[in-house]
Structure 1
Amino acid sequence: MGNVSSQPFRFLDLPFELRLQVYEEVLVVGKVFYTPERVEVENQRRFKDWKLYRKPELQLLRVCKTIHQEAEKVYLSKNLFVLPTNFYSRAPFVSHWSGTPPSQWRWLFSKSAYENVKNISIEFSPVLKVRTTSSYIDFDEQNTDSSPTAVYRRLEALQTRKRNAHDQAHAEFREHCSSISDTLKFDSLETMTENFQYMEMEYTNAFCPLGCCRYIQVGWDLIPSLWPKHAVILGLDFSGERQLFMHLFSAICTDDEGEEEDWPSAEEFGLEFNPDTDKWAKWRMEV
C-alpha cells in the first residue's frame, strides 16, 4: 500500500482558471431558494421543481479570505436568487436602511450583493403579507374604540364589512409593493444597473383577498430602473392583462405633455411573458 502524503493540497497554487471551475462546480446551482412557505410552493410558478435544484456548498466560502473573495463573486453573479416575499425586511436590505441587521433571520447574502448580484426573482402577492381585518397590535390596543379591529367589529352591514376589509387589504398590499420597489430602486441595489442580467417578476397571485381587483399596476417601473438585459413576467395569462402591463410600461416613454422621451423599448429589455422555456432549467437534477 502506497504512502499517503500528509501535505495539504495547495489549492491556491492552481491557476485562477482552474479555481474558477471549482467554484462554479460547487456554487453555481441555477436557482437559489430560501426555504419557501408551502403556500408559495403551491401557488407560485417561480418555485416549479424547486427541490430539483442543488443547494450551493457555501461552506467553501469559509475556507479562507482569499477563496471567499474569489468564490463569492461567482456565487452571486451566476445564480438566480429567488427572493422571499418579505426580502426587504431581511439583511442586507433592511440593514442598509436602518443600520441594524435583524437577528431573527439569516442574511440573504452579504453586502457584496450590491455589486455582484445579476439575477433576481420577486413576486407581487398579498397572500403572506395582507392581514385584512386582523392586526398585530396587542389585545388591549385592539379593543380601544379607535382601533381598526374595534371599528370593524362595530360594522353591522355585510357589504360595509366587505368594503372595509377590502380597502384595508388594498392599502396594506400597496404599502407592501412600495417596500419592494423602494428597496430595489433606491440605494440598496443601485449599483446593479450597470451589469444586471435577468429579472423575473410574478403576478400569479396578485389579486385582492376578495378576488375583484387585479394588481398589475405595481412593479412594472422596476424594469427601466434596474435595466435588466432580460425581463420575464410570470402569471399574466390573459391578453388583456399583458396589454395593460405593456400600456403601463410604454407610458413611461412619454412626458406629461405626451411628448416621447428617450426611454428604451420593451424589446431592449428582452421582455417576455410566461416563456415556454426556462433558461435556468439546465441546472435541475435528473429524477
Structure 2
Amino acid sequence: MGSSATKVSGPEQRPAEQEQRVKTDETQAIADQIASVSQGRLKSTDVEDMQDNAAPFRFFDLPAELRCLVYDELLVVGKVYYKDTGYLEAQNTVRFEDKKYFREPYLAILRTCKTVHAEAEKVYLSKNLFVLPLRWQLYSPFVCCENKLNSRSLFSRRGLSYVRNLSIAVDSAKTLDNENESMSYDAYGWRNADHHDYDTMTQTQRFEVTHNKMIAEMYGDGIATSCELLKLQRSSSNLSVQYVEMDWTNAYCRFGCCRPLRAFPYTWICYLTPTVIYNIGTRSLHEEEAIEQCICYNLEAEAEELDEWGCNDIDQSALDKCVIFFVGSQPVDYWNQWKYETEQRKVDFQHSPRH
C-alpha cells in the first residue's frame, strides 16, 4: 500500500480535529456539571441522564483547574472543627455557636491515592479556617516530645506550610503549658514567697499576692503560646498566614474576677504578618481599645528591641497591610458564604462533639 495524504476513516476512527472537538465538548460538559453541583442546582433528572450517558473518563484526564473545582466542592467548607473538642469549650465559646451550620469536609478523597492527596491537601489546608482546640500548642506538629495529646496531629508537618487561616481561643484558665502546674500558692509556695508571711497577712492581702502570681503565670503561658505561633513561620520559608481569628470569650483570669487582656503577647504578628486579625468575644468597646493598644505596644517594643540588637528583620511593609477587625465593625463575616441556613450536622453538647 503506497503512501497517501488521505486517511481512511472507519467506524472506530474520527478525524483529528473532530476528535479534539468532541473531547473539548466532553470536558466542557463535565465542567458544567461540576459547576451545577457546586451551586446546588443539579436535579435528579440530570443525575439520571448523566448515569445513562456516562462514558469512562479518567479523573486525571481532567485539566488541573477542573480537578481543583472537585476538591473545592468536597473539601472547602469554610470552618473546620476538630473531633473530640472538649464539650465545655464547645458549649461556652463564640467560635462554636454556628458549628452545626457548616458542613463537614469529605476527607475520604485524601485517601484515594498519593497524587490526589498531594493536590487536594493544599486546597483543603489553604482555603478553610481551622478552629484550633484549646491547648493546641501541645499537639503535633507543634511539639516534638511525646505526650498524651500529640498522639494525633492537627496538621501534617508538610501540610503546615499550606495553612493560611487559623482560629485561636484565648482561655487562660484552661491553657496551662504544664498540666501539673498549680494555679495558686500551695504550702511550698508560701514558704518560699519573698516578704510574704501567710499568718500575718489579711485575707485581702493573700488574695492580691496569689492573684499577682497567677497573672504572671498567665503571661508566661501567653509567651509560650506566642512562641508556638512563631514556629508556624519558621516551619516554612514560604508560609503566609492570611487570617487569624482570636476568640476572647473566656479571657478571664483563673479566678474569673478580671480579664487580663495584656497577658497575651502579640509579637508573633511581626513575623506571621497576617492580613486580617478578626477579634470576637470581646465584652465592650473598652476591651477592644485595650487590645488594639496592646498590639501596637507589642509591635513597637519588639521592633525597638531588635533594632538594639541590630537584627531587625521585620517586614514592615507587610505589617502595614495588617487590618484589625472586631465583630460588629466588619459588615459581613467572610466565612459566612459557606454557612447554611439549616443544620448540616448534629452537635450534642452533652458529649464530646464529633468532627
TM range (shorter): 0.7 to 0.9
CA distance in 1, matches of 2:263, 2:217: 15
- Distance apart, 1:164 and its partner CA: 5.3
Correspondence 1:18-37 to 2 at 5 A: 18-35=66-83, 36-37=85-86
Aligned to 2:124: 75
Structure 2 letter corresponding to 1:166: H
Is the CA contact (8 Å cut-off) linking 2:273 and 2:319 kept in structure 1?
no
Correspondence 1:126-205 to 2 at 5 A: 126-129=172-175, 136=180, 146=188, 158-159=203-204, 162-163=207-208, 165-186=210-231, 190-191=235-236, 194-205=239-250
CA distance in 1, matches of 2:166, 2:90: 17
Is 2:107 the counterpart of 1:52?
Answer: no
- Distance apart, 1:181 and its partner CA: 0.5
> Secondary structure in 2 aligned to 1:272?
strand
Is 2:292 the counterpart of 1:246?
Answer: yes
Is the CA contact (8 Å cut-off) linking 2:82 and 2:131 kept in structure 1?
yes
Is the CA contact (8 Å cut-off) linking 1:119 and 1:196 kept in structure 2?
yes
Runs of 4+ in 1 over 6 A off after TM superposition: none
CA distance in 1, matches of 2:116, 2:318: 41
CA change 1:236–1:214 in 2 (3 A) is same
Structure 1 letter corresponding to 2:73: E
Structure 2 letter corresponding to 1:241: E
> Secondary structure in 2 aligned to 1:94?
coil
Aligned to 1:110: 156
Q: Which moved more, 1:113-122 or 1:238-247?
A: 238-247
CA change 1:214–1:74 in 2 (3 A) is same
CA change 1:23–1:129 in 2 (3 A) is same
Is the CA contact (8 Å cut-off) linking 1:207 and 1:213 kept in structure 2?
yes
Is the CA contact (8 Å cut-off) linking 2:222 and 2:263 kept in structure 1?
no
Q: 1:62 aligns with which of 111, 126, 136?
A: 111
* Cα deviation digits, residues 88-120 of structure 1 (max 9, x gap): 11011112xx3x575764211111233200000
CA change 1:265–1:229 in 2 (3 A) is closer
Aligned to 1:140: none
* Cα deviation digits, residues 168-187 of structure 1 (max 9, x gap): 53244223222211111146
CA change 1:163–1:273 in 2 (3 A) is same
CA change 1:73–1:130 in 2 (3 A) is closer
How many aligned residue pairs are there?
Answer: 267
Q: 2:322 aligns with which of 248, 269, 279?
A: 269
Is 2:62 the counterpart of 1:17?
Answer: no
Aligned to 1:85: 134
Structure 2 letter corresponding to 1:268: K
CA change 1:71–1:187 in 2 (3 A) is closer
Segments of structure 1 that go 5 or more residues without pairing to the other structure are 138-142
CA change 1:78–1:286 in 2 (3 A) is same
> Secondary structure in 1 aligned to 2:236?
helix
CA distance in 2, matches of 1:262, 1:32: 30
CA distance in 1, matches of 2:58, 2:315: 53
Aligned to 2:45: none
- Distance apart, 1:52 and its partner CA: 1.5
- Distance apart, 1:264 and its partner CA: 5.2
Aligned to 1:279: 334
Structure 2 letter corresponding to 1:85: L
> Secondary structure in 2 aligned to 1:32?
strand
CA distance in 1, matches of 2:265, 2:259: 16
Aligned to 2:267: 221
> Given the two structures, how large is their TM-score scaled by the length of structure 2?
0.64
CA change 1:83–1:192 in 2 (3 A) is farther
- Distance apart, 1:167 and its partner CA: 3.9
CA change 1:218–1:80 in 2 (3 A) is same
CA distance in 1, matches of 2:319, 2:230: 18
Is the CA contact (8 Å cut-off) linking 1:202 and 1:235 kept in structure 2?
yes
CA change 1:188–1:272 in 2 (3 A) is closer
Q: Which has the larger radius of gyration?
A: 2
CA distance in 1, matches of 2:266, 2:323: 14
Segments of structure 2 that go 5 or more residues without pairing to the other structure are 1-50, 306-313, 343-355
Task: Give the alignment's Cα RMSD to 1 decimal.
Answer: 3.6
Is the CA contact (8 Å cut-off) linking 1:119 and 1:198 kept in structure 2?
yes
- Distance apart, 1:270 and its partner CA: 1.9
CA distance in 1, matches of 2:86, 2:243: 24
> Secondary structure in 2 aligned to 1:17?
helix
